[in-house]
A and B are shown apart, each in its own frame.
Chain A
């Protein structure tokens, strides 16, 4: 069944009926959850999927009564195990319904030992003696794959994945019947994400508990859940068996969402993504239509033109970078500590052909951002060189003019849509600054600014506005426009879409590809998402802890990865 309503039966563990959550704001009443109904059966894993603003987190918080004022539940009923919850949500928390939040670092009290926090929760809900609680705590830690001898450690001594396991242990230790997991793996690396999701599935099957998994990632949904509910702007648009929904989506939004999601599979290399065209940021119940994915034969055209020019555009040779994290000398002397050197990048070499996109892939700590900064001249390498079209940016002999001329040809688009634009500057100034810095478009800056805006799909009237008036995707477009202002040949994209919703990501990636075709740009694309690589890049390099473990053409690498690490990355990536 894939209607957008669901009526419960007596055996449902959780039934949510006509739930609405409101936030009274200064000028209006914001309905973040609008008349949502669904059930969770015993022993199943239900996914709640949607983009930002869909209301999925709010739904989870509403169920256990943790909505922060001024938000409130406007209407609706929550029925748990046959009884209406109403005001008694506190009694269910921990004992019958456990919760896992997104950020493992901030979920744990930094000043208390991990084991103590688990014991405390156990003793709150179960009437057991202190030593019994201690044994249960150790059993809980083992169950989630943590070493019980580390119970006396503090949260900051654990890695991100281990912390999330501890959080799961905390959620499970009082033996609840339902776990609500709100984006539990979003802050984790892909490989850790796979492990944590497996853990979640396993412990719930073992105990017969149900899970309500809230996420924005369709791939995670596909691999983990039995059924899924799709939310859009507070409304439930579709609900049903996961495989049914993914293979035969009924609602246009679901269909579009699935089509937008980049994948590694089958012949999608270089294809443009479908994208949802709707006016962003107006918050209305959107009508939208889906622009179909297109085969981009044009990419091949550009590659062929440049193939004749055999000299690669960018050559990185033996790049290395260390960071000295040691304590000051005197302290080291007195406490006999050694120097702490972080080898962020070790002897990396690669080349990028003109007009192509080279993707640099790695998890956190792999050194990809460091390489990006060295490539663009923001950071000097400890050893090795980066040569762009024959010129070494870090050459000390380079005069100011030559250096500035080289800067013009290289630009960068950054990850965070919020931090890449100066919040106090108007868009017009943000875009005209590079023109002034490089002495371009003298006398007609204003026209050029409008031209840039239109090139990225924004309007001339946006010139007077401030960044906070735009959505995340629009801000990235402004960033791209700024990068284009100096008419560069080479753009480094440092995780430009990692902070964006899937549908917005599709728009931005399509834009980047179109610009590459139209302007003959060369890209160095940094990302952790293999699926995005498959869409964007022709060549790929895989980084692990500062070392380049493998590189090659995309199709070759995905079909036939040589190194174990690459294979592990490919396997861990959730797919539809």
Chain B
């Protein structure tokens, strides 16, 4: 642990104020989402707690009927926007992280196997990857979503929507991981420490796991960060279009969708605050990812 704080990496981190800020913001948003149930003044998705009379209250002004004040105002159903955003953030981040985890799991395993074992397995995996990359991930996600929806009975569609979302986004993003890991594996497997391991009689799985894997994870971190931003935006887009998180478990995208209807009639806050939150989230992740990529690039040293 001490080595980390004394390392060049941490030093560069502290030297860039923008990065420190973006990291802090990320952390803040993450913690807010995790502890949403404790921080939020209300649970906006519990129908019992809603009062339609609270609807359309502007931020920081008392409602003309009930006298309640809400920091960020309320939407058409009387939901406290601040709470809604916190819960929405939670959904967005949950989907984002899970999708990236899934993509990493698939991508790293396949990349490692393809790179190390080579032969027809490599050719097959790369062929599939090439085909998949021909199509943009949003489209694939929509397709998977559409198909799954029609296969599921209607009453279960909303409940499982989140998981379908995670699977579709995760399945559409594994290629980048696989290709990078495969490239790095191809380089590492020619290195002499691998030959030395073979001379000790170690088997393929052992060599892949113990020797090669630790050395190909470097660039994965950068890609993970960037993919996280992409996944968050993808989820928001899908939810906005109505094929993502349902209104019963809305994410920031769903909230924006709701807010769009009221933007031009004057209740601007219903759209603006979720939009700003989304923007801040994506921006901070991108900033951090950018810095990470620049720092970890060995050739820039």
Do chains A and B stick together as partners? yes
Cβ of B11: which chain A residues have Cβ within 8 Å of it? 26
C-alpha gap A479/B193 in the complex (Å): 9
Among candidates B195, B198, B211, B214, residue contacting A414 with C-beta atoms closer than 8 Å = B195
Asked whether any CB of chain A lies closer than 8 Å to the CB of B200, the reply is yes
B215 contacts A423, C-beta separation under 8 Å: yes
Contacts of A407 in B (CB 8 A): 199-201
Which range contains the number of B residues in contact with the other chain? 10 to 19
Q: Give 1 or 0 for each of A395-421: 1 = CB within 8 Å of chain B CB.
A: 000000001100100111011100111
* A-contact 0/1 string along B182-202, CB 8 Å cutoff: 000000000111011111111
Q: For the complex, give the distance between the alpha carbons of A26 and B7 in Å.
A: 11
Check if B8 is an interface residue, CB within 8 A of chain A.
Answer: yes
Question: How many residue-residue contacts, CB under 8 A, span A and B?
Answer: 50
Chain B's closest residue to A486 (CB) is: B200
Nearest A residue (CB) for B187: A419
Provide the residues of chain A in CB contact with B191, threshold 8 Å.
416, 419-420
Q: A26-B8, A416-B192, A424-B215 are in contact. Are A378 and B201 (CB under 8 A)?
A: no
- A509-534 to B contact mask, C-beta < 8 Å, 1/0: 00000000000000000000000000
Q: B202: nearest residue on chain A (CB-CB)?
A: A437
CB contact under 8 A between A438 and B211, given known A378-B195, A419-B192: no
Q: Which of A422, A423, A437 contacts B200 (CB 8 A)?
A: A437
Question: Are B201 and A420 touching (Cβ within 8 A)?
Answer: no
A–B Cβ pairs within 8 angstroms, 5 of them: A378-B199, A407-B199, A411-B199, A415-B192, A419-B191
A71 at the interface (CB under 8 A from B): no
Q: Residue A482 at the B interface, CB < 8 A? A: yes
Known: A26-B11, A416-B192. A422 touches B211 (CB 8 A): yes
Task: State the CA gap A486–B199 with chains docked (Å).
Answer: 11
Ranked 8 nearest A-B pairs via Cβ: A414-B192, A437-B200, A419-B191, A420-B192, A424-B214, A422-B193, A419-B192, A404-B201
- Residues of chain B lying within 8 A (CB to CB) of residue A438: 200-201
Distance between Cα atoms of A410 and B215 in the complex (Å): 27
Could you tell me if B201 and A414 are in contact, using CB atoms closer than 8 angstroms? Answer: no
Indicate if the CB atoms of B192 and A437 lie closer than 8 Å. no
Name the distance in Å between B298's Cβ and chain A's nearest Cβ. Answer: 11
Residues of A near B8 (CB, < 8 A) are 26
Distance A420 CA – B188 CA, assembled complex (angstroms): 11
Closest residue of chain B to A467, judged by CB?
B193
Contact partners of B211 in chain A: CB under 8 A = 422
A376 at interface, CB cutoff 8 A: yes
Contact B200 A412 (CB under 8 A): no
A424 vs B211: C-alpha distance in the bound complex, in angstroms? 8
- Chain B contacts for A160, CB-based, 8 A: none
Report the Cα distance A411→B192, complex, angstroms: 13
- State A468–B196 Cα separation when bound (angstroms): 18
Cβ contacts A413-455/B at 8 Å (1 or 0 each):
0111001111110000000011001100000000000000000
Closest Cβ of chain B to A356, distance in Å, is 22
Q: Please, how many angstroms separate the alpha-carbon atoms of A464 and B193 in the complex?
A: 18
Q: Which residues of B are found within 8 Å of A416, using beta-carbon distances? A: 191-192
CA distance A486 to B211 in the complex (A): 20
Contacts of A373 in B (CB 8 A): 195
Chain A residues within an 8 Å CB radius of B193: 419-422
Q: How far is the CB of B32 from chain A (nearest CB, A)?
A: 35
B201 pairs with A412, CB closer than 8 A: no
Minimum Cβ distance to chain B for residue A106 (Å):
13
Q: Which of B195, B201, B214, B215 contacts A437 (CB 8 A)?
A: B201
Contact, CB under 8 Å: B198 / A378: yes
Q: With contacts A422-B211, A423-B215, A424-B215 known, is A434 near B200, CB below 8 A?
A: yes
CA distance A424 to B214 in the complex (A): 7
Residues of A contacting B201 in the complex (Cβ-Cβ under 8 angstroms): 403-404, 407, 437-438
Instruction: Please indicate the chain B residues that have their CB under 8 angstroms from the CB of A479 in the complex.
Output: 196
With A and B bound together, what is the CA distance between A416 and B214 in angstroms?
Answer: 20
Q: Which residue of A lies closest to B191 (CB)?
A: A419
Complex interface residues of chain A between 47 and 64 (CB less than 8 A to chain B): none
Residue on B nearest A403 in the bound complex, by CB? B201
Residues in A with CB closer than 8 Å to B197 are: 433
B130-167, CB under 8 A of A: which get 1 and which 0? 00000000000000000000000000000000000000
Q: How far is B197's CA from A207's CA once the two chains are assembled, in angstroms?
A: 55
Q: How many whole Å from B76's CB to the nearest CB in chain A?
A: 55
A-B contact sample (8 more), CB < 8 A, given A407-B199, A412-B195, A412-B196: A26-B8, A373-B195, A414-B195, A414-B196, A420-B192, A421-B193, A424-B214, A438-B201
The chain A residue with its CB closest to the CB of B197 is A433
Q: How far is the CA of A376 from the CA of B196 in the complex (A)?
A: 11
Nearest B residue to A438 by beta-carbon distance?
Answer: B200
Contacts of B215 in A (CB 8 A): 422-424
CA of A423 to CA of B212, assembled, Å: 10
- Complex Cα distance A486/B11, Å? 42
| A376 x B192 contact (CB < 8 A) | no
Residues in A whose Cβ lies below 8 Å from that of B202:
437
Least CB separation from A373: chain B residue: B195
Complex CA gap A335/B198 in Å reads 39
When chains A and B are docked, how far (Å) is the Cα of A404 from the Cα of B8?
42
Contact residues in B for A403 (Cβ distance below 8 Å): 201
Q: How far is the CB of B14 from chain A (nearest CB, A)?
A: 12
A407 and B195 CA atoms in complex are apart in Å by: 13
Residue on A with the closest CB to B211? A422
- A420 x B200 contact (CB < 8 A): no
CA A361 to CA B198, docked complex, whole Å: 25
Q: Tell me the smallest distance from the CB of A425 to a CB of chain B, in Å.
A: 8
For residue B9, give the distance in angstroms from its CB to the closest CB of chain A: 11
Q: How far is the CB of B153 from chain A (nearest CB, A)?
A: 48
Measured between beta carbons, the chain B residues less than 8 angstroms from A414 are 192, 195-196
Q: Name which residue of chain A comes closest to B195, CB basis.
A: A378
Chain B residue numbers with a CB within 8 Å of A421 are 193
When distances are taken between beta carbons in the complex, the residues of chain B under 8 Å from A377 are: 199
Give Cα distance in the complex from A293 to B8, angstroms: 42
Q: How far is the CB of B29 from chain A (nearest CB, A)?
A: 32
Q: Tell me the complex Cα distance, A344–B11, Å.
A: 49
**With the chains together, A512 CA to B199 CA distance in Å?**
20
